[in-house]
Amino acid sequence: MNAATIDLLHRAIGDPDTQWSLGTFGAIAEFSRDRDEPVILRQSGDAVSAVTARGGIAIRHDPRNRALASESITRSGWNQRIALCLPEADGAMGARAVLTELGADGAALRASDRDSILFDLGLGAPHADFCVRIGDPDTATELRRHAGRAVFETGNPAMRLILAANPHRVFISRLGRIEVYQPIPPATGRSPEGPHTHVLPKLLKSGRTHPATEPIPGGWVPCAHLYPPHPARDGLGEARPFDPARHDAFQSDIARFGNPEFLAIKRRVQDAIAAQQPPSAMPGDRHGRAGIRIALRQLKAAGHVSPVLQSWLQDFDPAGLETEADEADLHHD
């Protein structure tokens, strides 16, 4: 990991408006904190961490880590993220397919949790372990009786026991972990604000490590993500007045950690519109087309108004002409 990536992590962990996730397509833990929320921050030469009363995150520095900044299309806006990736072999975790006891969680972010027992849920992802941490000995004894079985197996009471116990959720990769201390919401409820987890068995069956819209290079796996403050959305995904400083900050991240071809496409569009050039042919691959649309939407969100921009939007992104708030979750596309 080079100095630029270390600097990125130090800046991000200290920014309460930056959000984080760790997991796979179909199972993810998210960490965020409020600006005025008490937090224990650590920024060292080999790790960063943040712990609140609702949850925590720790990310280790690794020289093999590759930071990849990218943007993707949503219904009427765009997402932005930075993936922290490792080569597949280096990022491999347990890939367990059944409930498995792992023992006391000696790496817990809080000393008070280190005697509690970790159970891997056995969700089978190659690059992340999805665990619950049990502090009650009776509950741990009950779960042990169902070790070796798939948690979603018909007739298996393990998940019912877990939901009743409301344990901490601990999602772990080779680059770190996210811990969630907040209660698990009921099946009919919505996730709480702040740290929380999602487990969606149907999506897990795809076997994907990330959404198809995210350009992770072949042979690499995302071991964590960070989400710098979005210029047009707040932390809950609601529309907010466009913030040029936030936009410029992430465009600097794209320039440093993104795909140069993606950035070049965006700049060609921006330069063409600045020069009042009518729509013209552009690269036709999936990510290239997305780059064109994102550049147009960002110009529109920044308040650029011109007949030329309208013509480009009409040709390349009619949906971008709409003004309705984007309903897409910023972190799940």
Q: Transcribe 193-258 into DSSP letters.
A: SSSEEEE-HHHHTT--SS-TTS-PPTTEEEEEEEEPPPSSB-TTS-B----HHHHHHHHHHHHHHS
CB atoms closer than 10 angstroms to residue 184: 20
pLDDT band with cut points at 50, 70 and 90 for residue 321: confident
Torsion sign across C-alpha atoms 40, 2, 126, 204: positive
Residue 323, pLDDT > 80, answer no
Rounded distance between C-alpha atoms, residue 168 and residue 53, angstroms: 12
Return the structure tokens found at 196: 């929380």
Tens digit of each residue's pLDDT (9 = 90 or more) over 119-148: 999 999 999 999 999 999 999 999 999 999
Q: Single out the residue of 84, 105, 91 nearest to residue 179, CA to CA.
A: 105
**For the chain, what is the radius of gyration of the CA atoms?**
21
With the CA atoms of 28, 88, 82 and 183 taken in that order, what torsion angle do they form, in degrees rounded to the nearest 10? Answer: 20
Residue 326, pLDDT > 50, answer no
Tens digit of each residue's pLDDT (9 = 90 or more) over 52-82: 999 999 999 899 999 999 999 998 899 999 9
CA 53 from centroid of its chain's CA atoms: 21
Tens digit of each residue's pLDDT (9 = 90 or more) over 88-129: 999 999 999 999 999 999 999 999 999 999 999 999 999 999
Q: What is the mean pLDDT of the chain?
A: 92
Rounded distance between C-alpha atoms, residue 121 and residue 130, angstroms: 6
- The pTM (predicted TM-score) of the whole model is 0.92
Beta strands 19-24 and 176-180 are unpaired
| CB-neighbour burial class of residue 44 (10 A; exposed 0-12, middle 13-18, buried 19+) | exposed
> What is the percent of the chain where pLDDT is above 90?
81
Residue 333, pLDDT > 80, answer no
Rounded distance between C-alpha atoms, residue 164 and residue 168, angstroms: 12
CB within 8 A of 244, min separation 6: which ones? 231, 302
Residue 1, pLDDT > 60, answer no
Tens digit of each residue's pLDDT (9 = 90 or more) over 276-293: 999 988 766 788 889 999
CA 297 from centroid of its chain's CA atoms: 22
Mean pLDDT of all residues in 14-41: 97
